[in-house]
Structure 1
Amino acid sequence: MKCITGTSNRVLEVDLGTRSFSVYIVSREERRQWLGAKGLGLKLVYDRMPMNADPLGPDNMVALMPGVLMGTGAPCSGRFHAVTRSPMTGIMTSSSCGGPFGMQLKTAGWDGLLIRGQSSDPVIVRVDSEGVVFEDARPFWGMNISESQKAMVHGKESALVIGPAGEKGVVFANVASGHRFLGRGGIGAVLGAKKVKGIVAEGGNFTIAPASPKAFSRVKKRGNAYIQRNETSAVGLRNYGTNMNLNPGNEANILPVHNFQAGRHDRSFELSGEMTKDIHDTRYHTCKPCTILCGHSGNYSGTRMPVPEFETTVLLGTNLGLFDREQNVEFNRICFEQGMDTISAGGILAWVMEASEKGLVSTALRFGSPEGIREALMSMAAKEGFGAEMAMGTRYLARRYGGRSFAMEVKGLEMAAYDPRGCVGQGLAYAVANRGACHLSAYLVALEVYFGLLNRHSTRSKAEFVCFLENLTCVINSLQSCQFTMFAYTLEPPLSKYTPDFILSLLMRYVPKLAIGLMDFSLYTRLWTSVMGERMSSAEILKAGERIHVLERYMNTCMGISRQDDRLPERLLTEGRRGDDKKRTVPLEKMLHAYYRLRGYDRNGIPEGKLLKRLGIKAAG
């Protein structure tokens, strides 16, 4: 078995139309500027894809990119990234995924896979250390996710597969790698339009070794130690999974209920991670390698099933007025097998329930009732009846039938499970996130609610921390590490850990630049340096994160995005939550102006030429 030190810098470029492939060699400068995974994927697509490419046409490209940490055994590094133009939003989307596919691609000797063109017939793309072989996928067309995985994968191979929803062009169709997903933005629909049922990788030809083994061993040990002693990662996530957020969210009145009409419900605890652990005999069901162990399975009526993640639990649970764990698992299973994003599916169902109550559409779907939900999910996946319209997303439905005021989406992407009227910085993060209403672009709710370091109802310092977290998140998604490591890697270093919370809070609120300058995220920098054998300072690596974020924004503006799109649903701007006596809304405009100024965007939200020049981004021709 051969050994790759750091990265191979070899990327496969596949053309489905001509059934051919070539190899692109990533330069040292590209690697330092764009790091890998998300960043490098964006840059490679930007250099090759017309900005007016039809998301479901042959010119759209999909980049599948493992990061520099993949295969090294770094904590929580078993993740890869996908980048493409979304059929749901019409702009760029990206997604991070666990599961086995990334490791197989990396150990086959590839640092990325670029897919362009369109096949005339259903196809399987098989990747090994020699390149690509194309196989007939017609026998597998129509299979659900589990059936496809069993039929396509042999031995130690792993696959990315789409379900019936991707084949039918459901705009929020996802892609499965084992029991994990490229979830948001409709990447499954893009592959379905290209007639790609699955991409199978056979790795194991190469081992991955860090350039500086001793330094890597030290930083890996420190990273694991930080994770093991951090309360969020080692206690909350490990014991209760992402549903550790449910009870605190309900207590803070930010848990979506009845399509974001309310922020809490007396029965919400029934879906909590604590109750799930107590009743369903949960066990670990995680990505590999993983130190945090947030993924779980549980015993549901005698069958061991994946425990739904927090976003699924809320969007297909409390936001529909439903609190039955068995039903929640069943709805999650249907979305899994059909290949649909649970956040968007839940957001669409909530809009339809409210629109039905208001007489805008005629369905039997109602808040608090599970009746018809299974059938609605299946009709969406099959694009049959009214399901064909639901399959186009909330924005489409509201434009067609009315109800824009309660369409809970940003840039066409349904909102995740945090009500920003109780954490206004998260509202700014939603509004400006590059892929739409994304909670993972800048997870400000942690600082506002879970750690209480920023006043959650004040606009003070929110623009500064959104910018910082966007940049740092791009670094994490480009190395690529799990975003949950951020809690341990930034809060466990001595300066953060031993500074009293009230002092940290004062610094963050009143001198945010100083507070951000004092934040120690150098463990990510040391991971990069030890794996690649090239020194980068924390300032340089954070600038790379800024470069990646701004490139994605610039690509979006080339696709038509501007200030008018950096908005929130009308409900959040004009209507207070039930249960909030002060009827707070999100004061977006003030924060948005400050954000643009800090980012170097003009008043219309477009990156200015001097910003592009400073970051080394060449303007589109």
Structure 2
Amino acid sequence: MTQEFTGPGNRILEVDLSTGKVSIYQVKDKERRLYLGAKGLGLKLLFDRLKPGRAPLGPDNILAIMPGVLLGMGGPCTGRFHALAKSPLTGIISTSSCGGPFGLALRTAGWGGILVSGSSEKPVYILIDEHGASIHAADHLWGKSTVETQDVLDDEKQSSLLIGPAGENLVRYANVRSGKRFLGRGGLGAVMGAKKLKALVACGGAYRIAPVSKKEYKRAAKRGSSYIARNEMSAVRLRNYGTNSNVNPNNRAGILPVKNFSDGRDDRAYQISGEMVKDVHTTRFETCKPCKILCGHKGNYGGKTLAVPEYETTAMLGSNLDIFDRQAIAEFNELCGELGLDTISTGGTLGWAMEAAEKGLIDMDLRFGEQEKVAEVIADIAYGRGFGKELGLGCRALSEKYGGQDFAMQVKGLEMAAYDPRGSFGQGLAYAVANRGPCHLSAYLVALENYFGLLKPDTIRAKPEFVIFFERLTCCINALQTCQFTMYSYTLEPLLSKYTPDLILGLLMQNIPKLAIALIDFSTYTQLWNGATGIRMSNREFLQAGDRIHVLERYMNIREGGTGSEDILPLRLTKEPLPCDAEKKTVPIDDLVPRYYSLRGYDQNGAPGKNILKKLKINEV
């Protein structure tokens, strides 16, 4: 008989693959209040356990899988979980979010997370149910693709979180799969591969998850759903065209990556846009659950039903490689998914390799636009064959060995997401200072600068203030954890934002950013938290928790040897104007970062000062 489980779930499984020991950690009330859940609580658990300097692919690294606080309670877009570990690609902390079914299975098995340490001598998988966890041999699964492994492990009761050949072969940007969704960035698949951990399998359904205050939660969820239903970004653009709705506006703005970010616009871009995909490929929904936005789609590609690639994949494996063939891009996406490769880093690394080959830095028969050769190279990367083994190290390592660092489009070792900041200075700052590397999901300034026109994209005014605000809010969202796309509706649909003319909003945001930020209504998130957990927090306390999570992550990276010298952008973005830009702009990152540090309370090396750590109670628990 299914039992009801109320609240966030405070029992955390700890599994040591070296010893086989399984134990349970009980989350403290103060930890929950200070760090919320998912990403935030996961960081705190790693902070207490993961000693600085440990090798990312060594047994001392810890993989944390943390379901969202709202997971299982039926709220809109709440079917997400988070994973964290030290990254083999960057050498600092990596975090990643996923909307696959494993999180719900883990949550309804009665667990608020799992920490995996140590390493096995032989391939294994971890089986989780309401009684705990057990370790099982996985020799029969080693070498199988992600799809083949799912066919063995997944059924109506079980959901797996697993790696493919790329993770087994320690490709530094190998990802992890759950259903048809992925933990993409930072090489968490290689962390599992180094531990000889093929999969985690959760048997869910033992518990029904309920909020502590059902009426309050239901009221907040209903409000959130109504906001989503009437917001143009969520209910029209994302629902109809998916994230590929970004292709056309990015191309018009000159921020679409073309040929390894050597240009920002191409007349062929419409061919890979969400509008064209919908018209030609008879798309239908294939979404995370439960979802109200419905941005995920699948379609008919040459008689095969394939997932419609997300914008990042379309841009990085498409225009970034000078490829504008929708069928080819969808097949590259499918292949990366089967082999277990992050599509953003794969596209960024291949972009560097194509340019390096053109310039004679490497001997490789691969050039921009040669789509017929890409699939073979992707497979070589996953299996570590030939030069593919070196490509599996990422473009930072490659450029340090062969040259071409100026056009290695990475920061802190992570390949850059698919927005060219020469046409979006705020996004450039967000990339430079993002904790895990140049990530659009740390602070999404491109929406304010290029989609809504509320901030001028080619000025530095107000950019540090808004980057900091969205870093805080994003950490709150990733701690709940709900979909970041709800940010459009939850902040733009409340009355003040919705009915204030854009001209007035823009003037206020550009000239009085502190006041503009203070007027942003994000209370739907706070109300969902309050109803779900019964832990009362004001909007101010909630946003401060997001600040604490972000600064803790920064502090952990500093402990690993990170410095402000890494808060930079590739020289291509700061020295080379875009050919499509008549004004010949480059990103003035040296003017943006010091202001950001000052507002953040960091020292000149980008480290959080003692005062800010004390204020945020970082070491208090």
TM-score band (shorter)? over 0.9
Map 1:332-343 onto structure 2 (within 5 A).
332-343=333-344
Question: What is the distance in 2 between the residues matched to 1:143 and 1:79?
Answer: 26
Secondary structure in structure 2 of the residue aligned to 1:124:
strand
Deviation at 1:328, TM superposition (A): 0.4
Deviation at 1:215, TM superposition (A): 1.3
**Is residue 593 of structure 2 the alignment partner of residue 592 of structure 1?**
yes
Question: What is the distance in 1 between the residues matched to 2:470 and 2:20?
Answer: 41
**Is residue 484 of structure 2 the alignment partner of residue 455 of structure 1?**
no
In structure 1, the partner of 2:373 is: 372
Map 1:399-478 onto structure 2 (within 5 A).
399-478=400-479
In structure 2, the partner of 1:182 is: 183
Question: What is the distance in 1 between the residues matched to 2:584 and 2:386?
Answer: 39
Structure 2 unaligned spans of 5+? none
In structure 2, the partner of 1:493 is: 494
Question: What is the distance in 2 between the residues matched to 1:272 and 1:132?
Answer: 44
Question: What is the distance in 2 between the residues matched to 1:338 and 1:513?
Answer: 46
Question: What is the distance in 1 between the residues matched to 2:23 and 2:294?
Answer: 38
Answer yes or no: is the 8 Å Cα contact 1:365–1:371 preserved in 2.
no
Deviation at 1:371, TM superposition (A): 3.2
In structure 2, the partner of 1:195 is: 196
Question: What is the distance in 2 between the residues matched to 1:525 and 1:102?
Answer: 22
**Is residue 87 of structure 2 the alignment partner of residue 86 of structure 1?**
yes
In structure 2, the partner of 1:294 is: 295
Question: What is the distance in 1 between the residues matched to 2:490 and 2:251?
Answer: 27
In structure 1, the partner of 2:579 is: 578
Map 1:357-396 onto structure 2 (within 5 A).
357-396=358-397
Structure 1 unaligned spans of 5+? none
Question: What is the distance in 1 between the residues matched to 2:522 and 2:154?
Answer: 39
Answer yes or no: is the 8 Å Cα contact 1:159–1:178 preserved in 2.
yes
Secondary structure in structure 2 of the residue aligned to 1:12:
strand
Code of the residue aligned with 2:148 in structure 1: it is: E
* Deviations 1:421-469, CA, capped at 9 Å, x for gaps: 0000100000000000111000000000011100000000000000000
Answer yes or no: is the 8 Å Cα contact 1:152–1:200 preserved in 2.
yes
Code of the residue aligned with 2:568 in structure 1: it is: R
Question: What is the distance in 2 between the residues matched to 1:91 and 1:19?
Answer: 27
Code of the residue aligned with 1:518 in structure 2: it is: L
* Deviations 1:281-333, CA, capped at 9 Å, x for gaps: 00000000000000000001111110000000000000111100010011111
In structure 2, the partner of 1:542 is: 543
Code of the residue aligned with 1:320 in structure 2: it is: L
Question: What is the distance in 1 between the residues matched to 2:20 and 2:155?
Answer: 23
Question: What is the distance in 2 between the residues matched to 1:209 and 1:552?
Answer: 30
In structure 1, the partner of 2:62 is: 61
Change over 3 Å in CA distance of 1:619–1:213 after alignment to 2? closer
Question: What is the distance in 2 between the residues matched to 1:347 and 1:543?
Answer: 34
Code of the residue aligned with 1:435 in structure 2: it is: R
In structure 2, the partner of 1:140 is: 141
In structure 1, the partner of 2:5 is: 4
Deviation at 1:519, TM superposition (A): 0.2
In structure 2, the partner of 1:95 is: 96
Question: What is the distance in 2 between the residues matched to 1:536 and 1:231?
Answer: 30
Question: What is the distance in 1 between the residues matched to 2:584 and 2:380?
Answer: 37
Secondary structure in structure 1 of the residue aligned to 2:442:
coil
Question: What is the distance in 1 between the residues matched to 2:214 and 2:397?
Answer: 52
In structure 2, the partner of 1:353 is: 354
Secondary structure in structure 2 of the residue aligned to 1:372:
helix
Question: What is the distance in 1 between the residues matched to 2:271 and 2:560?
Answer: 43
Question: What is the distance in 2 between the residues matched to 1:69 and 1:547?
Answer: 20
Secondary structure in structure 1 of the residue aligned to 2:437:
coil
In structure 2, the partner of 1:315 is: 316
Question: What is the distance in 2 between the residues matched to 1:478 and 1:200?
Answer: 23
In structure 2, the partner of 1:509 is: 510
* Deviations 1:195-228, CA, capped at 9 Å, x for gaps: 0000000010001111111111111111000000
Deviation at 1:363, TM superposition (A): 1.2
Secondary structure in structure 2 of the residue aligned to 1:374:
helix
How many pairs are equivalent? 620
Deviation at 1:619, TM superposition (A): 9.3
* Deviations 1:159-214, CA, capped at 9 Å, x for gaps: 00100000000000000000000000000000000000000000100011111111
In structure 2, the partner of 1:255 is: 256
Question: What is the distance in 2 between the residues matched to 1:545 and 1:409?
Answer: 26
Range 368-377 or range 532-541, more displaced: 368-377
In structure 2, the partner of 1:554 is: 555
Question: What is the distance in 2 between the residues matched to 1:203 and 1:512?
Answer: 46
**Is residue 243 of structure 2 the alignment partner of residue 242 of structure 1?**
yes
Range 541-550 or range 358-367, more displaced: 358-367
Percent identity, aligned pairs only?
Answer: 59
Range 358-367 or range 78-87, more displaced: 358-367
Code of the residue aligned with 2:241 in structure 1: it is: Y
**Is residue 47 of structure 2 the alignment partner of residue 40 of structure 1?**
no
Question: What is the distance in 2 between the residues matched to 1:7 and 1:413?
Answer: 32
Map 1:324-335 onto structure 2 (within 5 A).
324-335=325-336
* Deviations 1:468-512, CA, capped at 9 Å, x for gaps: 000000000000000000000000000100011111101101110
Question: What is the distance in 2 between the residues matched to 1:8 and 1:604?
Answer: 38
* Deviations 1:365-386, CA, capped at 9 Å, x for gaps: 1112213211110110011111
In structure 2, the partner of 1:149 is: 150
Code of the residue aligned with 1:285 in structure 2: it is: E
Answer yes or no: is the 8 Å Cα contact 1:612–1:619 preserved in 2.
no
Secondary structure in structure 2 of the residue aligned to 1:119:
coil
Question: What is the distance in 2 between the residues matched to 1:92 and 1:5?
Answer: 31
Secondary structure in structure 2 of the residue aligned to 1:398:
helix
Length-normalised TM-score, structure 2: 0.99
Deviation at 1:17, TM superposition (A): 0.7
Code of the residue aligned with 2:577 in structure 1: it is: G
Question: What is the distance in 2 between the residues matched to 1:361 and 1:96?
Answer: 35
In structure 1, the partner of 2:345 is: 344
Deviation at 1:534, TM superposition (A): 2.2
Range 358-367 or range 542-551, more displaced: 358-367
Secondary structure in structure 1 of the residue aligned to 2:94:
strand
Secondary structure in structure 1 of the residue aligned to 2:372:
coil
Answer yes or no: is the 8 Å Cα contact 1:554–1:607 preserved in 2.
yes
Question: What is the distance in 1 between the residues matched to 2:426 and 2:4?
Answer: 45
Change over 3 Å in CA distance of 1:227–1:315 after alignment to 2? same
Aligned-pair RMSD on alpha carbons? 0.9
**Is residue 603 of structure 2 the alignment partner of residue 602 of structure 1?**
yes
Deviation at 1:8, TM superposition (A): 2.5
Range 138-147 or range 154-163, more displaced: 154-163
Question: What is the distance in 2 between the residues matched to 1:213 and 1:484?
Answer: 24
Question: What is the distance in 2 between the residues matched to 1:198 and 1:45?
Answer: 20
Question: What is the distance in 1 between the residues matched to 2:564 and 2:96?
Answer: 24
* Deviations 1:542-584, CA, capped at 9 Å, x for gaps: 0000000000000001111111100100000000011112211
Answer yes or no: is the 8 Å Cα contact 1:315–1:347 preserved in 2.
yes
Secondary structure in structure 2 of the residue aligned to 1:139:
coil
Question: What is the distance in 2 between the residues matched to 1:217 and 1:331?
Answer: 41
In structure 2, the partner of 1:24 is: 25
Question: What is the distance in 2 between the residues matched to 1:170 and 1:368?
Answer: 24
Question: What is the distance in 2 between the residues matched to 1:273 and 1:139?
Answer: 40
Question: What is the distance in 2 between the residues matched to 1:133 and 1:141?
Answer: 18
* Deviations 1:143-170, CA, capped at 9 Å, x for gaps: 0010001112233100001000000000
Question: What is the distance in 1 between the residues matched to 2:145 and 2:563?
Answer: 38
In structure 2, the partner of 1:221 is: 222
